[in-house]
Structure 1
């Protein structure tokens, strides 16, 4: 059979929302027209793709099997159209971890790729960006990638590569007991007061690993309103301190100062994440350019014994 990509697009819209009405709105179709496209696709495939019961919609086993190949087929079709029209298909990149300024790292890399059209979007977190990649809504993600026993976000046809290991600093206000120090041993954080978290600690995997390894005490801000607000809260209470990437530019008007953490120095791992089956040529170009910039700026320098990484990150470094 010849696969009709309009029917595939209709199937994917329903599969991603499990709701015919919302899928029809997305595609600017009537619900009746959408249903007809899906029904014709099912008829040609000779298999039901959805279980329809009342207001509930679920994928059948055939629908689950069809889902990933359908995403790849539609993405390939879109790129074929772009190629025929001599259009540069943009590389869609979603970044997360905005409190820590991911654009600082992306900017010098993208500056070397003026010929590559990149659409940069904001992802909320790793699971959200992973979902966008799986659904072919994005081509590449950039942020901190981690693995948990209960989270298969990086195992669903996704690949990641470490591209930067950034030292983190202690940041304190003028009233903090360590404010006059030139450096602080990371083990001292246990008795340094309270690590002030910009959100619930369990949502910030790097902080979770820091707590586990160094036994620090944490408290959370009721709302994450950005870096300036976060550091205002740190400066306002002499018990609080922050742990943030060392190259992050701090707001000049705030009475806070960064202090290097040593013996060991914690490193924050930044990674690229992409779908293994995505054939966009810009992905390989981006990976090569990251490697060049990382080598020149020593972004991947890791000194065992002097630096600290969560175990999964250390494994990634060992794997190269």
Structure 2
């Protein structure tokens, strides 16, 4: 039989979201049209792909069909590009926007003037992982932590940078005049999270490990709003990469964290069974710059990494002497 890729795309999107209404909205079609496409696909295959009882879930046949279906969609996109003779530019989406991930990506891309990459923005790791599995993008860049099992299959990720973070507090915070702080010094403060606390894996694990019980989450409305919250809440603090450009805000203090120094792990993630032809060049560039810029220096006796951030690096992490810790 010949597969109808529109029907396959309807199935794959519904399988990812497990909701026909949201899948139809994502594909910009009506829910009725999406249901018809899935039903026609099931008729052509001679099997039920979804159990439509209480909630929507995949049948065993649907689970078997999902990965080959995703591969078929990627292959279709590649076939169209080949037929048109167009150069397929790799799409690289970033997330973790408050911590300015494009700083690192831009530095690597500047070193590759002959590599044409299309940067884009993803909402968070799960959304980028889902886009990779659908074949909509080729590479992701951000903090990789534990993914739901249905999104983790078939994805490869590599650590490319470990970045120290400072603590940010307002000028009225009791610890604002300190020259350096230990994470344990923050136990009587309130962690400000610019999103739902459960979604910010790094901040949540930091608070769990260092006994910070008071946590407040709110919408991420950008850096000015983030800094304004710290200025106006005397007990509030948050974490911010130490290598970011200095913050132009006299009402906020950036203080180094020591004993241990938290490190924010930046990684690349891609779908290994559908590697873009230019992926290897991108990986080599990250490896070279990480080595030359000491991006992977890590001393387990003095640095802190969440357990889930212990990822396979492009190059082996090395100990950084105390005089080169920041």
Q: TM-score, normalised by structure 2?
A: 0.82
| Residue 189 of structure 1: aligned partner | 186
Change in Cα spacing, 1:206 to 1:82, as seen in structure 2 (3 Å) is: same
| Residue 173 of structure 2: aligned partner | 176
| Residue 99 of structure 2: aligned partner | 100
Q: State whether structure 2 residue 207 is matched by structure 1 residue 211.
A: yes
SS of residue matched to 1:187: helix
- C-alpha contact (below 8 Å) 2:166/2:240 kept by paired residues: yes
Alpha carbon RMSD of aligned pairs, Å? Answer: 3.3
After TM superposition, give the deviation of residue 285 of structure 1 in Å. 2.0
Change in Cα spacing, 1:264 to 1:81, as seen in structure 2 (3 Å) is: same
Change in Cα spacing, 1:238 to 1:31, as seen in structure 2 (3 Å) is: closer
After TM superposition, give the deviation of residue 266 of structure 1 in Å. 0.6
| Residue 162 of structure 2: aligned partner | 165
Change in Cα spacing, 1:53 to 1:157, as seen in structure 2 (3 Å) is: closer
After TM superposition, give the deviation of residue 206 of structure 1 in Å. 0.7
Change in Cα spacing, 1:124 to 1:28, as seen in structure 2 (3 Å) is: closer
Q: State whether structure 2 residue 152 is matched by structure 1 residue 155.
A: yes
Aligned length: 312
Q: Deviations over 1:94-151 (max 9, x none)?
A: 2111111111111111222333332322221111211212222222111111127xx3
After TM superposition, give the deviation of residue 301 of structure 1 in Å. 0.7
| Residue 271 of structure 2: aligned partner | 275
Give ranges in structure 1 of 5+ residues lacking alignment.
none
| Residue 320 of structure 2: aligned partner | none
Change in Cα spacing, 1:290 to 1:197, as seen in structure 2 (3 Å) is: same
| Residue 126 of structure 1: aligned partner | 125
CA distance in 2, matches of 1:236, 1:131: 38
After TM superposition, give the deviation of residue 50 of structure 1 in Å. 4.0
Say which is worse superposed, 173-182 or 163-172, in terms of deviation: 173-182
Q: State whether structure 2 residue 301 is matched by structure 1 residue 301.
A: no
Say which is worse superposed, 297-306 or 272-281, in terms of deviation: 272-281
CA distance in 2, matches of 1:293, 1:264: 25
| Residue 309 of structure 2: aligned partner | 313
